[in-house]
Amino acid sequence: MTQPLLALSDVSVTYPGQAASGLFGKPMVFKALDGITLALNKGEVLGLIGESGSGKTTLGRAIVGLVPVASGEISLNGQRVTNQQGAARLPFARAVQMVFQDPYGSLHPRQTIGQTLMEPLKIHGTVPPAQMQARVSALLARVGMTPNFAARYPAQFSGGQRQRIAIARAIANDPALLIADEPVSALDVSVQAQILNLLADLRRDIGLSMLFISHDLTVVRHLCDRIAVMYLGRIVEVAPAAAMAARPAHPYTAALMSAAPRLHAGAQARAPIILTGDVPSHSAIPPGCPFHTRCWLYQQKGRPARCHTERPPLASLPSGRQSACFFPDETQPAVTA
């Protein structure tokens, strides 16, 4: 078996919560991520999808080291990189880059685009000073912008253009892995398609591997090779995108796919699944399967005791899929013609 580019093994991230009881009570601890095991192969685009509080953003931040990992291991090309600090972290920081959701908050407003793009080149000393300008021009061209934009400030650009600049900065030092956290969520539909095509081009042309984090199932389905679905800090399903779209192996995935609005009502005969209630709080994660309180399959099967007493592990299925459901073969909702 080939070595994955990025491997997470039983990774957990905790946040301190409110004091539990009384002034001297032991503070509660929230598990934002609970035992994440996931691998990303070289050249692969892996989608990470979930609702608010699922932990998808925390996972991206934990990988790049923006939040400390409480337990478990993260490795890049087989090298352990968990919680690296200072100079030891530099090679990793160069190899893994991030693009954030808000193109208005992620660029320095008082730096020209040229200065912004030169910064990573200077930090890592990858380009001799004489070639800086040429490299900046090439980066701008790479993301579909003209070299004269280098002299301008972020305020002069639209959201889509700023996201192109943020991507140019991320690929400045030829990273091995790009982590994109909701990179198109703040953009209009027509502009969103431009950025999705740009990411697809980068992947094709320079073989960029990507972890694409999003709440939007249609976008993830479009761009990614494989999709990991998160719920309450755990991964509930991993599968190739096409296979997942054709037949989800977890009832939560099935509900997400059913809830995605379609342009043509009759495009696919489907029974709409409406989940009841809200995502439970991290301070009161249900026992057994964390999803059972909202699960349509649990209701349909007459509330099997196993679901609310025993936590289903993320188990491997045939055809390289994984599902954290006791009934992965019954997760296809009844089709209404």
Residues that bind another protein (CB under 8 A): 51-52, 158-161, 188-194, 196-197, 200, 215, 217-219, 221-223, 242, 245, 255-265, 267-268, 272, 274-279, 294
Q: What angle do CA 36, 38, 39 make, to 5 degrees?
A: 155
Query: Which lies closer to another protein via its Cβ, residue 125 or residue 266?
Result: 266
Shortest CB 69 distance to another protein, Å: 26
> CA-to-CA distance for 169 and 283, rounded, in angstroms?
38
Q: Which two tokens stand for residue 19?
A: 């004091």
Angle at 105 between CA 100 and CA 110, to 5 degrees: 130
208 contacts: CB under 8 Å, gap ≥ 6: 171, 175, 177, 178, 202
Query: 125 vs 277, which CB is nearer to another protein?
Result: 277
Which residue number, 274 or 334, has a Cβ lying nearer to another protein?
274
Question: Which CB, 66 or 246, lies closer to another protein?
Answer: 246
**At its nearest, how many Å lie between another protein and the CB of residue 272?**
7
Nearer to another protein, 92 or 157 (CB): 157
Q: Which residues of 192-209 are buried (b: 16+ CB within 10 A; e: fewer)?
A: bebbbebbeebbeeeebb
Contact criterion met (CB below 8 Å) for 11 and 33: yes
* CA–CA distance, 216 with 309 (Å, rounded to integer): 31
C-beta closer to another protein: residue 85 or 190:
190
CB of 330 to another protein, least distance (A): 20
Interatomic CA distance for residues 34 and 233, integer angstroms: 6
* Smallest distance, another protein to C-beta of residue 152, A: 16
Q: How far is the CB of 150 from another protein (least distance, A)?
A: 20
How near is the Cβ of 26 to another protein at its closest, in Å? 24
CA distance 263 to 276: 24
Residue number with CB closer to another protein (170 or 256): 256
Closest CB 200 distance from another protein, rounded Å: 7
Triad 115, 121, 126: Cα angle to 5°: 155
46, 40 Cβ separation under 8 angstroms = yes
The sign one gets for the Cα dihedral 136, 140, 146, 148 is negative
